[in-house]
Homo-oligomer: A and B are copies of this chain.
């Protein structure tokens, strides 16, 4: 019969982390719960929606502070929603959790006492056992940046499920992440630390990467990553984050990326973003949220949009340079803003191959990232 005394703050943080994997809409009732397991080393919490599973470990001691006193080892599953609300609102800094016969679990803090009907932890699904042979490492902050710069471009439609994920290829010590919804594409490369030269080509659900990003801190501590045939594991100091991989082959995307260009513009991504944002205020009313870009003389770009009932907007932006043919092109303001946000406000080069061909956005002094957008035909 498990009995522990645990630091409230550490428990609240752990519960908040594993809750990211708990879905109230699961069809497996026990997965609406959080598994709590106490050993002599500390307490492990687990949450899962069967696509994502998160394990958080609270050691008995950390930095000379006692976090858990394990009076008796054991385990229990408690309703996630109630358990998380209760621990947040308990009055004292220490919480006592005691499992009694029939999985009845008493939670005490100060003069408040909750008795919750628990479930048998033996019935909680086991997490995959992943052998940690082929580990590669990415600093936490870089991993979050890579996710942010690609995951927005995944498809939200289930008509081609493979496109709802981000393709991760690892070859020769380089990670190449690609996401596309077939109207735009985001690509990000990064050097990584690996222990061997193994190659991988997997597709990680966009939802998993979004949830992972939320529970990672902003340190540059390395995240250990292990890939198996159908799972990926991200591992930080006290967290294990498992995600299933998507089945199927990711489409070959390199042939979509134009290699030549007819018009090249160099412009500051931040100023450009603000102008597109303003033009899209009216464009949103239209059918497609479409804005138009027109090159003028002297390096000036005009951004414009018309919504017949509401009105129109035009704005001139001074670019660093415009080279090549004159251009009029229309595109989705949303896709452009997503791409410009991923480009982090730096100076960028935009390369066009005519008004009907996909165009590319790239940081001016780096080939680590590429954003591709298909233009919109207008009358």
Contacts and interface: CB of A to CB of B under 8 A. Distances in A.
B281 A85 contact: yes
A278 B112 contact: yes
Contacts of A278: 86, 89-91, 112, 114
A160 interface: no
Interface in A66-105: 79, 82, 85-86, 89-91, 104-105
Contacts of A191: none
B274 A91 contact: yes
A88 B301 CA distance: 23
A314 B113 contact: yes
A308 to B, nearest CB: 9
A311 B117 contact: yes
B116 A315 contact: no
A116 B275 CA distance: 17
A316 B115 contact: no
Contacts of A89: 274, 277-278, 281
A117 B313 contact: no
B112 A275 contact: yes
A313 B91 contact: no
A310 interface: yes
Nearest to A105: B311
A315 B117 contact: no
A82 B281 CA distance: 7
A310 B116 contact: yes
Interface in A307-332: 309-317
Given A111-B317, A317-B111, A116 B311 contact: yes
Interface residues of A, number: 31
A282 interface: yes
A104 B312 CA distance: 10
A317 B311 CA distance: 63
Interface string A274-289: 1101100110000000
Which among A104, A277, A309, A315 has the greatest number of chain B C-beta atoms within 10 A?
Answer: A315
Nearest to A304: B113
Nearest to A117: B311
Nearest to A305: B114
A104 B85 CA distance: 54
Interface in A241-280: 274-275, 277-278
A115 B311 contact: yes
Contacts of A86: 278, 281
A289 to B, nearest CB: 14
Contacts of A275: 112
A235 to B, nearest CB: 33
Contacts of A313: 112-115
A312 B281 contact: no
5 contacts: A86-B281, A90-B278, A113-B315, A114-B311, A115-B312
Given A89-B274, A89-B281, A91-B278, 12 more contacts: A79-B310, A82-B311, A85-B281, A86-B281, A90-B278, A112-B314, A114-B282, A115-B312, A115-B313, A116-B310, A117-B309, A117-B311
